[in-house]
Structure 1
């Protein structure tokens, strides 16, 4: 046992160093503070009804809190049968946010470099380089923990696939299944999709070499194991994936139901929306020089009283402190912030590290491992796709023809894949140096690499324009703010360009210094001036010192906040308190002062017409575009949605509440049914109709309605909601004739079923997105129950998959343990002999 600790002592030491790094960088997290509080509050708003029922030890899979109603499993669901859920919950319980994600990044990447057979210190250097790549840190700052969690499993998945391709079928397959299952559980399909593109390139290159070496049987066996592992990971996540795939066709990212009234494409996202955050071609200089494009949007730390912009105000007689404040405020005007790229805004650049970029290019020249071509191909593909609207040729091909690609926005985020390829190539270059005996050729290529990087820094410094495309628009707005003083506005714009140049120049010098240090460290190692361990530790330190200060620009201690519950931050207005007194369990509120698709406040207090979710129903989104964002909004549609209260503002901008006396209520019997041909006709018909009297129904549902019987024959018929649960609604009806009832509940037939007196009965869609049904004469109990097979049957499949995964992992560990030489037994045999020698 002692020898086991001795053999693995370096790994334990590195684990301790990782812990120290996290303690030093994320100190406030260990003090109970958290990141991304705004996103946390937004999530609490969306999950309000879900959490209320969880507090009663009840899980609901449907919520009426946002957008009239939608599946809750698109927001939160327990997925308790999924072993991946257990693993992630354990990590979250063991370490504060975001430490558990950072640990996964560090140890997952360390595992990858260990599989690539780097010594522990070089593996640690690579882990630090990827973990502290600026994009990961910026995502943590924003509170996008699920996205970073998905990125954290990139490295161990790649490592497991490589193990399998090397012929370690059982271990590689078991680990592939585990990490792919965890990746899928992170539930960030966009990041997973980008990783799959990278792995496809790797598999393609391996196939080429297998054909060339005539080892295709072994290759296809490896691919078969990886495929089986993927299927097992899918089975583990069956409930999550099944319910998501089922819902996808009906969600905002699904196909349009409209052809004439649609503001969206027929399928997927609008291209302009998807490409909104596209990486500028020139912005790739930020991989090397973080402030090449001015850094983050908004006020910049680079603007002080010595800045050119502040001096313009100082020259006008403005005190220095106030001048700096005015200079910082220039970021409010288009094109006059420090960031001058084409994105609508950015929280910071993609900085991979000057040392890592230097070693990456060096690796392209010296690495002999064929993995080099995978890394180069992946980097080129991800860079070209990240350009989006700035170089649309390849992006348009993917957007128009590749499955699912048009479902994703912010195409620049694909550079998360490039951010792991860079350190892999960089550290493989270092490994090549440590293993090469004849270092003359390597030294020559080191000089070439240094020359190229000096040229790149000079090119960036001399040829970047530092001028925003919309700068003239900003000058126009600033001139108005300065009461027509166009000369000062122009001087300020010129000064801003100068400040941008200064920011870039400072970072260019900084990067040059780190490249020089990396060059010197490599040179003395190649010249055998230091041993491998000293060199590796020094490289680790250099990479950490390179990345740390840049990351601190975007994630400072000030970004951490005390954990706050929504009730501490979002206080109810007087109108909210008044509406809360209404004992009715199920009505909606429409706040005309809120942005209907980005409302994170009203759902805290009401079942809302508005909300915030990128997974909202497509039909509801189309209804908002055509009926509720109009001026004024369609009152008939608000009535059918049972919008019982409106929130508006008076002349003093105080919120006021208006009761909607024409709201249709929970359910009602209509006097007639009007059949229309398609969704376009439905949308047109509800633009002006009387929802209380008439139901607009697509003709496809004609077979569900007995049109021969009298509809609306009993004016005294009643229908009343008697029990409200988001997953289970109960109504009591009474009528002397067959009636068609419309329910002010969102239609979604993938899980909702209707019972009349305990027996399942058909229902249909009316008024574009509400539920409706024909109710027979007499007194009846009508129930709507949400019990989606995609979740409940999926959970059973998840349990089966989880059991298989645990057994597979146990088998792999047992087999690997048997394969290892019995080192401890050998040590024991040697121990007596050593004792005798010692005595002599």
Structure 2
């Protein structure tokens, strides 16, 4: 044990520093018992309400919830994959460490593992880990509540480390670690982040293949690929339950193929380009990589009392208080994204060493890093570089399923510090100090020169005017009663404020670049040893990154638990509705600004609206065609919308009205009208009597008329027992009749039983379930038992066992290698 501590003492010290840094960053909130206020997490709390309530009551989390959009699978809301080993690893991390300490520690330790794998000495690896972990968007994702996204990013570095180990000949250890970290990556359940990493890894593999062919070592290369393939298969098996359900469900969501021909285009699967490209990086916005406020910071960034806008308004006779208030409302962020929490800042020190790395690194890994950076940057431009973006959107599998294309920059945020610290390692290790110093001067002239230009003449490079600048001037002119001179004066002052903000950060960047270059000079002149220099670099990088991160993930972002709980304080109308004991009615809350992109009401009761980025495509088409221009009351009735909430246009007070024409949980219809195709079906429900007639696609006709249909005016069918995954109805009729159920049709797991015997059901009214119920009194049940989950879970168990065996085998093999050979 003492020998182990002696061998690994340095790593333990680094680990202790990581813990200290992470807890220090969140010290005040932790000490005060505060919780991170995350908008997306609050949305998720409402989405998960029914799931968590049932889980608390029964111990089982249902795989279906009716809380939003009339009903949907819970796979992408909350699902327990209990036979997946990685579930317990993640639960353990979240149980031991407070949020978001666990995420930052994963950032740090994962990157530290990668830098050690790349051969960097301990303190240089620690500095590189800090540079990656504190990259601005790693913290911005935490602030925004993108917990899964942050976790997925945290496993990038150790996964790359496992792959590089394998490619360098550590087959068993590398493949086992690859399997584990890929399993963790997949379990993080953010396919978009994983997809972007795969794109980068494809570049790595092709570069490795090229060099293997060149060096005539293809046998070793393909051996490594074979081991990595086995590791990948194990990781996929471990996550079979989540992957299978996600794949099955995704095809029927807004990321799948449209059902309506009117919405079908040449590229008809996935998101629309307008939606996918909404958050596209402007080409010159990459200046934020090293000057954080080059584009004005976040959408909520405001200038202080000395703003040029306030002074311009005061000069026009506006009261100083009003001038300051008005100035604070004008946007300093001037990019073309709808909004932003903050910039993609990789660090001034990292930027200098990255450029130095492009000059002095000869290792083939440089070309992988450069290729991955260029690809991620070009793709992040989205609509601003359609030639490349459209190529991927139209032809690369799955790429069109993802929105916010600026997120591709997560790859650049990984590659920048890797190349930067490989360059610094070269500075430390290369004996030709004259060569290194000459190249360092060149890197300083490039980075310092660009930054100096951004201080002296920023307007030469950036316009500081957003796409809506002219509209802003026109609006200001209206406020000044047509005085265009005053409007242009204020708009010009806003441009000056933006330049001031950029110039301040550019000066800051130049200082850090000068410090980085100075450190190189000191090392080359052998004024300090490389260990101390690495520690100094760690400190400088930390100061640089920490100060920017604190602009976005700061102590004010944390609030007391009371504030979180007050986010869901019921209104008077909510309390009235919640007194209704009917187990499965719905509410349409039109008092929300957009009831189909807000889950707030779903916390209290089942809603027609809600929020989820992967809602069912058919329901989304209902929203677009039946609710976007005006609310179709017939559709509300068939969805059993018992209450409608509106807002008083003057006071904003929520008002409620009871919908007496709601059809109920289930009912028999008098007649069936057959339609051909989704477009006719959508048109048919635009105006119909849902209580008495059903619109059914022609493809279901044989199932509908398997028995001779009739109609009994005295028949009845009612819901007698409700659980999200198990609905029980009691029917009584003197004829075979078509029953409509106000439940969303989803045939990937729902089965219907009549008196315990499974029977066919079908779709009606575009999104609902229907069935032909035979004459007599019957017990009708709908049970949700998806094979994709339950069979997938059993596969996950087998995969988890294989993963444990692989890791155990790797540990045994490595220990055997380290044991001294016996004579």
SS in 2 for 1:55: helix
Taking the aligned partners of 2:579 and 2:234, their CA distance within structure 1 comes to: 51
CA shift digits 1:43-83 (9 cap, x unpaired) = 11111111110110232111001000000122001111111
Q: Alpha carbons of 1:345 and 1:26: their partners in 2 closer, same or farther (altered >3 Å)? A: same
Is contact 1:35-1:142 (8 Å) kept?
Answer: no
Q: Alpha carbons of 1:772 and 1:677: their partners in 2 closer, same or farther (altered >3 Å)? A: same
The Cα of 1:476 is off from its aligned counterpart by: 1.7
Where do residues 248-647 of structure 1 align in structure 2 (5 Å cutoff)?
Answer: 248-260=250-262, 266-300=268-302, 303-316=303-316, 323-330=323-330, 337-460=331-454, 461=458, 462-564=460-562, 567-594=565-592, 595-631=594-630, 633-647=631-645
The Cα of 1:541 is off from its aligned counterpart by: 1.1
Taking the aligned partners of 2:644 and 2:45, their CA distance within structure 1 comes to: 23
Taking the aligned partners of 2:247 and 2:755, their CA distance within structure 1 comes to: 32
CA shift digits 1:124-165 (9 cap, x unpaired) = 110000111011111111121111110000000000000010
Match of 2:36 in 1: 35
The Cα of 1:17 is off from its aligned counterpart by: 1.2
CA shift digits 1:635-690 (9 cap, x unpaired) = 11111111111112346442222111111111111111111110001001111111
Q: Alpha carbons of 1:563 and 1:37: their partners in 2 closer, same or farther (altered >3 Å)? A: farther
Match of 2:178 in 1: 176
- The count of corresponding residues between Structure 1 and Structure 2 is 815
CA shift digits 1:355-386 (9 cap, x unpaired) = 11110111111112110110010011111101
Is contact 1:305-1:320 (8 Å) kept?
Answer: no
Taking the aligned partners of 1:117 and 1:65, their CA distance within structure 2 comes to: 52
Is contact 1:756-1:782 (8 Å) kept?
Answer: yes
Taking the aligned partners of 2:127 and 2:648, their CA distance within structure 1 comes to: 60
Taking the aligned partners of 1:691 and 1:485, their CA distance within structure 2 comes to: 57
Taking the aligned partners of 1:237 and 1:766, their CA distance within structure 2 comes to: 34
2:64 to 62, 72, 80: 62
The Cα of 1:708 is off from its aligned counterpart by: 6.6
Taking the aligned partners of 1:684 and 1:261, their CA distance within structure 2 comes to: 14
Q: Alpha carbons of 1:263 and 1:49: their partners in 2 closer, same or farther (altered >3 Å)? A: farther
CA shift digits 1:403-450 (9 cap, x unpaired) = 110010110011011011001001111111222112222211111111
Taking the aligned partners of 1:261 and 1:274, their CA distance within structure 2 comes to: 16
The Cα of 1:264 is off from its aligned counterpart by: 12
Match of 2:165 in 1: 163
Match of 2:754 in 1: 756
Taking the aligned partners of 2:66 and 2:706, their CA distance within structure 1 comes to: 31
CA shift digits 1:497-524 (9 cap, x unpaired) = 1111111111111111111111111011
Q: Alpha carbons of 1:273 and 1:264: their partners in 2 closer, same or farther (altered >3 Å)? A: farther
Is contact 1:29-1:96 (8 Å) kept?
Answer: no
1:730 and 2:728 correspond: yes
Taking the aligned partners of 2:313 and 2:151, their CA distance within structure 1 comes to: 45
Taking the aligned partners of 2:563 and 2:52, their CA distance within structure 1 comes to: 12
Where do residues 54-133 of structure 1 align in structure 2 (5 Å cutoff)?
Answer: 54-56=55-57, 57-133=59-135
Structure 2 runs not aligned, ≥5 long: none
TM-score normalised to structure 2 length: 0.97
SS in 2 for 1:73: coil
SS in 1 for 2:512: helix
Taking the aligned partners of 2:36 and 2:141, their CA distance within structure 1 comes to: 10
Further displaced range: 767-776 or 288-297: 288-297
Q: Alpha carbons of 1:566 and 1:30: their partners in 2 closer, same or farther (altered >3 Å)? A: closer
Further displaced range: 791-800 or 481-490: 481-490
1:667 and 2:682 correspond: no
The Cα of 1:601 is off from its aligned counterpart by: 1.8
Taking the aligned partners of 1:705 and 1:353, their CA distance within structure 2 comes to: 65
Is contact 2:584-2:722 (8 Å) kept?
Answer: yes
SS in 1 for 2:67: coil
TM-score normalised to structure 1 length: 0.95
The Cα of 1:459 is off from its aligned counterpart by: 4.2
Further displaced range: 722-731 or 506-515: 506-515
Further displaced range: 260-269 or 615-624: 260-269
Q: Alpha carbons of 1:655 and 1:305: their partners in 2 closer, same or farther (altered >3 Å)? A: closer
The Cα of 1:484 is off from its aligned counterpart by: 4.1
Match of 2:10 in 1: 10
Is contact 1:717-1:734 (8 Å) kept?
Answer: yes
Where do residues 134-145 of structure 1 align in structure 2 (5 Å cutoff)?
Answer: 134-145=136-147
Taking the aligned partners of 1:283 and 1:457, their CA distance within structure 2 comes to: 14
Taking the aligned partners of 1:261 and 1:130, their CA distance within structure 2 comes to: 42
Taking the aligned partners of 2:141 and 2:7, their CA distance within structure 1 comes to: 37
Structure 1 runs not aligned, ≥5 long: 331-336, 827-840
Q: Alpha carbons of 1:261 and 1:120: their partners in 2 closer, same or farther (altered >3 Å)? A: closer
Match of 1:45 in 2: 46
Is contact 1:36-1:144 (8 Å) kept?
Answer: no
Is contact 2:634-2:689 (8 Å) kept?
Answer: yes
Is contact 2:301-2:333 (8 Å) kept?
Answer: no
Where do residues 210-249 of structure 1 align in structure 2 (5 Å cutoff)?
Answer: 210-249=212-251
Further displaced range: 277-286 or 259-268: 259-268
Is contact 1:275-1:410 (8 Å) kept?
Answer: yes
